[in-house]
Amino acid sequence: MSRNIIVLGAGMVGVSIAWHLVRRGHTVTLVDRREPGRETSFGNAGIIQREAVRPYAFPRDVGTLLRVLPNREVDIRYRPTGMLSAAGPLLQYWLNSGGERYARITREWASLIMRCQNAHGPMIEAAGAEGLVRKGGWLELYRTQKAMDERLAEAREDRQRFGVEFEVLDAAALQASEPYLQKNLVGAIHWTQPWMVSDPGALVQAYARNFVEQGGRLVQASVEGVTREGSGWRVATSEGDFEAEQVVVAMGPWSGDLLSSLGIKVPLFVKRGYHMHYSAEQGATLNHWVMDAEKGFLLEPMRAGIRLTTGAELANLDAPPQYRQLAAAERAARKLFPLGKRRDAEPWKGARPCMPDMKPVIGPAPGKPGLWLAFGHGHQGFTLGPATGELLAQMMDGETPAIDMQPFAVDRFKH
């Protein structure tokens, strides 16, 4: 039965949900204050991460904590105000990052990740976006044998349990494949399955265009409130009110504020990140997306130049940008690869929407019939948008979803 549905937020998650719903014959309005894919889904590293079957844990070993504490590292920075206002969720995050809890969360998380390419594939094809997508995987670079061996032990386990595929490159093989990288690396893990996107925002836009081609309606307006209206919902926006039988909240890092106005408290916090594009020094080429695993940044040969993306900054969503982490990453990146001039006038800043148990919220809002939730995809929302769209659409149509969705229910945060 066709229903009238409004999806709030046109990042990778919201666009993918809207795409699936319109495909199923529903009347769908997708609302965003910007064009599709201009926020977090724009500035990321653009990897569809089939290898990321372990959710991004809070560091628990004393060595890492002591290293991070002086706040001078490339991979993690924090602002005391940000730490303080997210203290509760961060403590839960820390508790969830080890032992049996982390093992269970990994199994649940991996059930989503393993669907990522089968979900992106048909959307890429329908949107005619093959030109934005590069197959063949990316390289995780290592400076010490010890760190590489530890990661390889995990990779072997992930191959066994979750079908992750990789190849090991020693120093010579890495040099042959990436001749312009600095010479003192011990090698790399080549994750061979992931797909890389040369302009992440453009992929979201291509999906959104295809949503419109299929009959979906795109509205550019700022969402100001959502209220119950009879048996449905009213969405107040800067461009007037819209009514629908069902509403999906997929506003990424901004989902929490809207939901608290509806009496739903979610422990959403953000890990901010930055990017900058560079030219390469004359004659130098970077053939793969590469991660400097022991420093904590990525370099991606994208359409706009070589994009440097930073690790996590624990700060409030709206705090002014702080470019020291990017500057530190740039210094390290210039030693790794001969980067040329900066190409953007200002660095880009975004915020990964994170939950304390590292899993997104996907499913109904309890006690609010017709209200659905999809946010909190953390480090892998670009990867997981389409799988989320497919699963949520199955739930909304009353079908049994392809995987157990209980681990992603919002009521897990009641206790």
Interatomic CA distance for residues 130 and 128, integer angstroms: 6
In whole angstroms, how close is the CB of 100 to ligand FAD at the nearest point?
A: 26
Of 352 and 359, CB closest to ligand FAD:
352
The SS3 of residue 57 is coil
In whole angstroms, how close is the CB of 152 to ligand FAD at the nearest point?
A: 21
- Residue 314 bridge partners (DSSP): 78
In whole angstroms, how close is the CB of 376 to ligand FAD at the nearest point?
A: 8
In whole angstroms, how close is the CB of 49 to ligand FAD at the nearest point?
A: 5
- Edge-first strand order for the sheet with 361-364 is 217-220, 27-32, 4-8, 246-249, 371-375, 361-364
In whole angstroms, how close is the CB of 273 to ligand FAD at the nearest point?
A: 3
Of 218 and 336, CB closest to ligand FAD:
218
Of 26 and 272, CB closest to ligand FAD:
272
DSSP string, 270-296: EEEEEEEEEEEPTT----S-EEETTTT
Cα three-residue angle 164-168-171, rounded to 5 degrees: 155
Of 127 and 179, CB closest to ligand FAD:
127
In whole angstroms, how close is the CB of 258 to ligand FAD at the nearest point?
A: 7
Using alpha carbons, list the distances in angstroms from residue 100 to 39, 103, 299. 35, 5, 34
Of 25 and 225, CB closest to ligand FAD:
225
DSSP string, 369-395: TTEEEEE--GGGHHHHHHHHHHHHHHH
CB 312 within 8 A of CB 273: yes
Q: Count how many residues are written for the chain.
A: 415
Backbone angles phi, psi at 373, to 5 degrees: -125, 140
The contact set with ligand FAD (CB under 6 A) reads: 9-14, 31-34, 38-41, 44-47, 49, 222-223, 250-254, 273, 275, 309-310, 350, 352-353, 375, 377-383
Of 171 and 317, CB closest to ligand FAD:
317
SS (H, E, C) 112-148: HHCCHHHHHHHHHHHHCCHHHEECCCEEEEECCHHHH
In whole angstroms, how close is the CB of 226 to ligand FAD at the nearest point?
A: 10
Of 14 and 216, CB closest to ligand FAD:
14
